[in-house]
Amino acid sequence: MLTGSVLLLFPVVAFVASFVFWPGLLIKAYNWFWRRRLGMTVRFSHVGSFRFCYSTRGTPGGAPSLLLLHGFSANKDMWLPVVQFLPQQLHVVCLDLPGHDGTSRHQTDDFSIEGQVSRIHQFVHSVGLKHFHLIGTSMGGNLAGVYAARFPQDLCSVSLVCPAGLEPPEDTEFVKRLREMEVQKQQNQDLSAESIALIPTTVPQLQDMLDLCSPVFVLQMMKGLLQNRLPHNPFYRHLFECISTEGSRHSLQENLGHITVPVQVVWGQQDQVLHVSGASVIAAALPHSQVALLDDCGHSVALERPRKLASVICSFLSTQEVTNRDVEKKKSC
């Protein structure tokens, strides 16, 4: 009887110990469980010595496949809240971008926007994706837009969620501070004590980042997130420098005129990282784009409004399907 009680208590003790001492491990276990619950399978694809890691559900069929690109310092699992609201029959692929989580991180790699887009193109061909719908958020939105400009033959359409890579008419306080740091760097001022809000090294700094980007997290979850992020901070800083160069900073804006596939723009009205006025920049350059501005939503749309994001994406895809059918009817007349 005592042995049975001990066995029953063991999972509880393990959970409490993980929550207290190894919260980072608990977060990874939670994501593993959630992937299994949603039917997402983690797979790998290789191009030479480079390894891509991605999670996927379903198989290519009548509807376009979805390829989802996460933001700066995130990973494929950030899309799980959205995936749970997508139709089961859709073929969904969530990619770890170069250097992130299970995808290779080579020191000699080009982590500029153009360099990452080239890697994504390699991945697309390595897994045989064709005529798919591309979705990207934040840095991933910048990548998705540039990909649409460079490789329109691969896509049927693209969704840009709070994308980076623009020069909006207004700036957030976050972007203003980055500009000040850039000026100080050009003046050879010592910025060693400065921290970039998106690369936290302490729990208070992580709280500041979450205040900018995400919903509320309990303290122990924040400790877990920090545990998982800290070993990768040197890479995140290098990546941030790569995407902040002149050649990458406004890549999306510079490529808007080359995008020919249908475009959807989704933006949180209360975005504190990238100002919502960026949506007007895309709308002006691409008058036929569909724009959805979400109330009570900040930068992390996939976490804050996952059901709504899934809904507007599916609505956009349905509209494109109807439009394509109408075009085909006119051609046959």
Residues with a catalytic annotation lie at 138, 271, 299
Tokens representing residue 132 in the block: 């798919």
Contact predicate 298/270, CB 8 Å: yes
**Exposure string over 164-175, b if 16+ CB within 10 A, otherwise e:** bbbebeebbebb
* CA pair distance 236, 228, nearest whole angstrom: 13
**Exposure string over 35-64, b if 16+ CB within 10 A, otherwise e:** beebebebeebeeeebebbbbbbbeeeebb
* CA pair distance 126, 216, nearest whole angstrom: 38
Residue 72: closest CA among 113, 129, 119: 113
* CA pair distance 236, 199, nearest whole angstrom: 7
Contact predicate 45/52, CB 8 Å: yes
Give the total residue count for the chain: 333
**Orientation of helix 23-38 relative to helix 219-229, angle to 10°:** 90
Contact predicate 267/279, CB 8 Å: yes
Extended beta strands in 103-179, E state: 132-137, 155-161
Residue 121: closest CA among 102, 147, 84: 147
- Position 55, amino acid: S
| Rounded alpha-carbon distances, angstroms, from residue 1 to 4, 56, 165, 253 | 5, 44, 63, 68
- Position 96, amino acid: D
* CA pair distance 23, 21, nearest whole angstrom: 6
* CA pair distance 283, 290, nearest whole angstrom: 8
| Pairing, β 290-294 against β 66-69 | unpaired
